[in-house]
Amino acid sequence: MIPRTVDAPRTHGSPAADPATPAVLLSGVTRVFGVAPAVVRVGLRVERGETLLLRGPNGAGKSTLLRIVATALSPTYGSGSVLGFDLLRDRDEIRRRCELLGHRTRLYEDLTARENLRFVCTLYGLDPSRVGPALERAGLADAADDRVSGYSQGMRQRVAVARALLRRPELLLLDEPYAGLDEEAKEVVDDAVRDAGAEGRTVILATHDPGRGDMAGRTLLMDGGRLVPAGSASS
């Protein structure tokens, strides 16, 4: 019987406090949905404080890879650590320090933006007084008490950005964060990425938007579920 994961290194013992531990360290990570592999034997090392840009065509596996790093998905094979914590065994430690901003905004339609963020505060044990400034910074101060069901896609994405601002995670994972946003809202995302970088936090940004990502220190391409050398992706 093939084990679900192999060679998972033990990384217990407060390794997150060690600045030499990479923010993300993956080895041979593969994820299969049914019989279709979405991510194939990916090895990745991202240093702490680094801003990494991930590019690639639709279906390249970028979203799956980010979801694996965020512990929303388990790798079918392979091993890794995030902020020094084991990807499989220390999920709660990783989740406490990591924020995934993905295609779906994870908001409740019948709650207001403020209520959505206050709920997040309860789940994460955060001070609810952070909600107001986060919404203001995302440009939603005037609409904070309106129900999300009346928001445009761009406004919803701003609330999701406000959630990321609220938490100030050590590792920020952004999966196509510019989709559906106007230029002003894109600047809000860019500011969040720049601020995270300036504060020494790690960012992995996956985007198609060719005009974005200039703040990244390194760019990687993904195609067919694999990380490929720059310039060889199919689109």
Partner 1 sequence: MNLLRQSVAMAAKDLRIELRGRYALSAILPFAGTLLIVFGLSLGPGRTLLQETAPGLLWLAVLFASVLAFRRAYEAEGEDGALEGLLLAPMDKAAVFLGKAAAVAAQLLALEVAVITLVVGLFDLSLGGAPFVLAGAFVLGTVGLAAVGSLFGVLAESPRAREAIFPLLVLPLATPVLVAGVKATSLATTGRGGQAGGWLGLLVAFDLVFLAAGTLVYPYLLED
Nearer to partner 1, 202 or 223 (CB): 202
Nearest distance in Å: CB 114, partner 1? 12
Nearest distance in Å: CB 73, partner 1? 5
| Contact residues: partner 1, CB under 8 A | 70-74, 91-93, 95-96, 98, 100, 102-111, 115, 119-120, 122-125, 147, 156
Nearer to partner 1, 63 or 207 (CB): 63
Distance in angstroms (rounded) separating the CA atoms of residues 182 and 169: 25
Nearest distance in Å: CB 217, partner 1? 26
Nearest distance in Å: CB 108, partner 1? 6
Q: What letter does residue 8 receive in the DSSP assignment?
A: P
Nearer to partner 1, 92 or 184 (CB): 92
Return the structure tokens found at 224: 């067919």
Nearer to partner 1, 60 or 160 (CB): 160
